[in-house]
A and B are shown apart, each in its own frame.
Chain A
Amino acid sequence: MRSPILILALGLLATAAAAADSVTLLNASYDPTREFYVEFNAAFAAKWKAEHGQELKVKQAHGGSGKQARAVIDGLPADIVTLALAYDIDAIAEKAKLLPADWQKRLPHNSSPYTSTIVFLVRKGNPKGIKDWDDLIKPGVSVITPNPKTSGGARWNYLAAWGYALRAHGNDEAKAKAFVSALYKNVAVLDSGARGATTTFVQRGIGDVLISWENEAFLAITEFGKDDVAIVAPSVSILAEPPVAVIDKVAAKRGTTAIAQAYLEYLYSEQGQELAAKHHFRPRLESVAEKHAADFPTIEMFTIDAVFGGWAKAQPTHFGDGGIFDQIYQP
């Protein structure tokens, strides 16, 4: 009788041999990074092959940031996550314990190799004359932004408005709440995700102004042309830091820790930063940022840590059950 164990062992050996010269990574990311990572993955795979002689295939999974985090918690074997907000990676650390709680300190700049911010997209010729946040609460201005309860991007939008109002009214919380309430009174539709809101504004033709990720706004312009919509940069906005992390336990199990780490470090390299800038994310590296300074509007930015004390505090206060977002809709 031929031993089935022998066959199994041979099979395993063959797999191990194959693994030595080819390796896969899974990067679970959020929606607007699709185009960027296609190009970045190809660049990194080429570099890895040249340096280590190993064939690398990076698989991508895209979806809403929260949805991706839940997939990883429920067992999606992602070696790397590149999500829209730190809160979602915090949840992976807290609920599934797949990486340490202080993951955000492991890489430079709060583990966010590129940043973005929140800007406005208006109709051709800006018929409502929208220049800054104050114009969004004027009567008769219809605002489009997604629902912060279901969209990570929408939470950045809300916090950007709140931060502006705090600054404009001498840190008066009550006045900030009144401002944000007035803003959401002008919101006709709260799509469930950021892409949906862009579609509502650009293709449905609904609303006078879309509050949007800066990179998404640039994408809408390349997609639909400068004739239809234009970007308006507010005087003040939030520094959106989409963070990245290696999922330690998954990578350890799959034996990809070193390559996953190298992948994330490459995001911080000059080549990685150039690609980020090309896809309308603001680079962190001084030299690349200077080179592309003209590509991005000048906006004064505040961080979520400075104004809101980080996601761990901002999330329950503003978006939790009975939080401020709930309150502004209660009669």
Chain B
Amino acid sequence: MPLLLKKKTVLPGFGLTLGFSVVYLSLLVLIPLAVLVMKAMGLTWEQFWTTVTRPQVVASYKLSFGAALIAALLNVVFGLLVAWVLVRYRFPGRKIIDALVDLPFALPTAVAGIALTALYGPKGWIGQWLEPLGIKAVFTPLGVVIALTFISLPFVVRTVQPVLEDLGKEVEEAAASLGASRMAIFRRVIFPEIWPALLTGFALAFARAVGEYGSVVFISGNLPMKTQITPLLIMGQLEQFKYAEATAIAVVMLVASFVLLLAINLLQRWTTRRMAM
């Protein structure tokens, strides 16, 4: 390893930039995470295990990870569509729609939660039409999915958009002139190109959605075993001044998210390599 580091690179400033990156990442990410793990270590293994496996907590993992997964998948499909429309077509108001995509980033999440709850509630603009159909959007897991889909939309659009823009129309035209059907063009020409970006967008959207608190607590109703997300249970522990228990649940969330993101990363590498062949 030391040999590897000593090897001269062509680009100057490696030592300085790496040093800076490590310090920066340590201050912002690693040290806070270390404190988190240290706080959780105030518990014995048995206490840790009972805290993170209580029925309420397990039910919340299912909801938090399940709803985040659904939201990220929805955004892969519809986010791709939005990115496609914004890149491929020119129409009046395109710039405005393009700017709208970023709004979920800018909006304080509590505001988003309150607005969505008002909209999908039994008296809301959308909710009043769903109610007669027997669809309850607020205070159900569906509400959680709605909120998470909203806040994680920009990730897929913004990661796929630049790739689509770089994708020359000529390649498609060449494929078409060689007799490929539209479906085949999408499957064999476009899709392999945008697939890595799509996966990245999915991973970012998922990660963002799993940790979301502000907007969800308004629309979910927070019923134990039914619509409590994991971050709410962490708040519940803090409310009892149980810092160690709160961090224990947080550590489980963190590890699960990390494993999932790592898996997505590996999948991305593996598929890209396979498609390149």
A-side residues, CB < 8 A to B, are: 64, 66, 69-70, 73, 91, 95, 147, 149-151, 187-192, 196, 199, 203-206, 315, 319-322, 325-326, 329-331
Residue contact B54 to A192, C-beta cutoff 8 Å: no
Interface contacts (Cβ under 8 Å), in number, total 78
Q: Cβ of B224 < 8 Å from any Cβ of A?
A: yes
A149 to B50, CA, bound (A): 18
Contact A147 B236 (CB under 8 A): yes
Question: Which of B51, B139, B239, B241 lies in contact with A95, CB distance below 8 A?
Answer: B241
Among B218, B224, B241, chain A packs the most CB atoms within 10 A around the CB of B241
Whether A206 and B121, one on each chain, are in contact in the complex, defined by CB atoms closer than 8 angstroms, is yes
Rounded to whole Å, the gap between the CB of A289 and the closest CB of chain B is 32
Known: A149-B236, A191-B222, A196-B218. 16 other contacts (CB 8 A): A64-B239, A73-B241, A149-B233, A188-B221, A190-B222, A190-B223, A191-B217, A192-B222, A192-B232, A203-B118, A205-B121, A321-B50, A326-B54, A326-B224, A330-B55, A330-B225
Interchain CB contact under 8 A, A315 and B240: yes
Beta-carbon contact of A204 and B123 below 8 Å: yes
Q: Is the CB of A321 within 8 A of B55?
A: no
* B235 interfacial by beta-carbon distance below 8 Å: yes
Chain A: CB-nearest residue to B213: A192
Identity of the chain B residue whose Cβ is nearest the Cβ of A70 in the assembled complex: B238
**Contact status of A206 and B122, CB under 8 A, knowing A150-B235, A189-B223, A192-B235:** yes
- Closest residue of chain B to A193 (Cβ to Cβ) is B217
B226 to nearest A CB, angstroms? 8
Residues of the A chain whose Cβ atoms lie less than 8 Å from the Cβ of B193: none
B152 close to A (CB within 8 Å)? no
Bound: A30/B97 CA distance, A: 41
Given contacts A189-B223, A320-B240, A329-B225, A204 and B118 within 8 Å (CB-CB)? yes
How many angstroms between the C-alpha atoms of A37 and B240 in the bound complex? Answer: 26
Please indicate which of the listed interface residues B118, B138, B224, B239 has the most CB atoms of chain A within 10 Å of its own CB.
B239
Interface centre among A189, A196, A326 (most CB of B within 10 A): A189
Can you report 27 A-B residue pairs in the complex whose CB atoms are below 8 A from each other? A66-B239, A66-B241, A70-B241, A73-B241, A147-B222, A147-B236, A149-B233, A149-B235, A149-B236, A149-B240, A150-B236, A151-B239, A189-B221, A190-B222, A190-B223, A192-B222, A192-B232, A192-B235, A196-B218, A203-B118, A204-B121, A205-B122, A206-B122, A320-B240, A326-B224, A329-B56, A330-B56
Q: A189-B221, A190-B223, A192-B222 are in contact. Are A66 and B238 (CB under 8 A)?
A: yes
CB-CB < 8 A to A66: which residues of B? 238-239, 241
CB of B232 within 8 A of CB of A150, answer: yes
In the complex, what residue of chain B is closest to A205 when comparing beta carbons? B123
Smallest CB separation, A166 vs chain B (Å): 23
Closest to A329 in B: B224
Q: Which residues 208-263 in B have Cβ within 8 Å of A in the complex?
A: 217-218, 221-225, 232-233, 235-236, 238-242, 245
Task: Tell me whether chain A's interface is mostly helix, strand or loop, or mixed.
Answer: loop
In this complex, what residue of A is CB-closest to B225? A329
Which residues of chain A have C-beta atoms less than 8 A from B114's C-beta?
Answer: 199
Q: Does B117 contact A (CB under 8 A)?
A: yes
B222 close to A321 (CB less than 8 A): no
CB distance from B118 to the nearest CB of A (A): 7
**Which of B161-199 touch A at CB < 8 Å?**
none
Selected from A91, A190, A191, A203, the residue in CB contact (under 8 A) with B241 is A91
Q: Which 9 A-B pairs have the closest CB atoms?
A: A149-B236, A329-B224, A189-B221, A66-B239, A190-B222, A91-B241, A192-B217, A189-B139, A147-B222
Residues on B with beta carbons closer than 8 Å to the beta carbon of A69: 241
Q: Which B residues between 48 and 77 are near A, CB-CB below 8 angstroms?
A: 50-51, 54-56
- Assembled-state Cα–Cα distance A137/B232 (Å): 26
Query: A73 to B241, alpha carbons, bound, how many Å?
Result: 10
Q: Which residue of A lies closest to B223 (CB)?
A: A190
Which residues of B lie under 8 Å from residue A322 when comparing CB positions? Answer: 54
With a CB–CB cut-off of 8 A, which chain B residues contact A315? 240
Contacts of A319 in B (CB 8 A): 240
Q: A326: which B residues are within 8 A, CB to CB?
A: 54, 56, 224
In the complex, which of the residues B217, B238, B240 has the most CB atoms of chain A within 10 Å of its own CB atom? B240
Q: Which of A190, A321, A325, A331 lies in contact with B221, CB distance below 8 A?
A: A190
B117→A204 contact, CB < 8 A: yes
CB distance B51 to A321 under 8 Å?
yes
State the CA gap A206–B123 with chains docked (Å): 9
State the CA gap A189–B245 with chains docked (Å): 25
Closest chain-B Cβ to A205's Cβ sits at a distance in Å of: 5
Q: B28-57 toward A: CB 8 Å interface, digit per residue (1/0)? A: 000000000000000000000011001110
Least CB distance from A97 to B in Å reads 14
Report the bound CA distance from A232 to B6 in whole Å: 78
Residues of A within 8 A of B238 (CB): 66, 70
B239: chain A residues within 8 A (beta carbon): 64, 66, 149-151
Q: What chain A residues lie within 8 Å of B55 (beta carbons)?
A: 330
Could you say which residues of chain B place their CB within 8 Å of the CB of A199? 114
| A319 CA / B235 CA spacing, docked (Å) | 13
Instruction: For residue A258, give the distance in angstroms from its CB to the closest CB of chain B.
Output: 30
B222 touches A189 (CB 8 A): yes
Residues in chain B near residue A149, CB distance under 8 A = 232-233, 235-236, 239-240
A149: nearest chain-B partner, CB-CB:
B236
Q: Give the contacting residue for B54; candidates A64, A204, A321; CB below 8 A.
A: A321
Q: Which residues of B contact A204 (CB under 8 A)?
A: 117-118, 121, 123
Residues of B within 8 A of A320 (CB): 240
Contacts of A331 in B (CB 8 A): 225
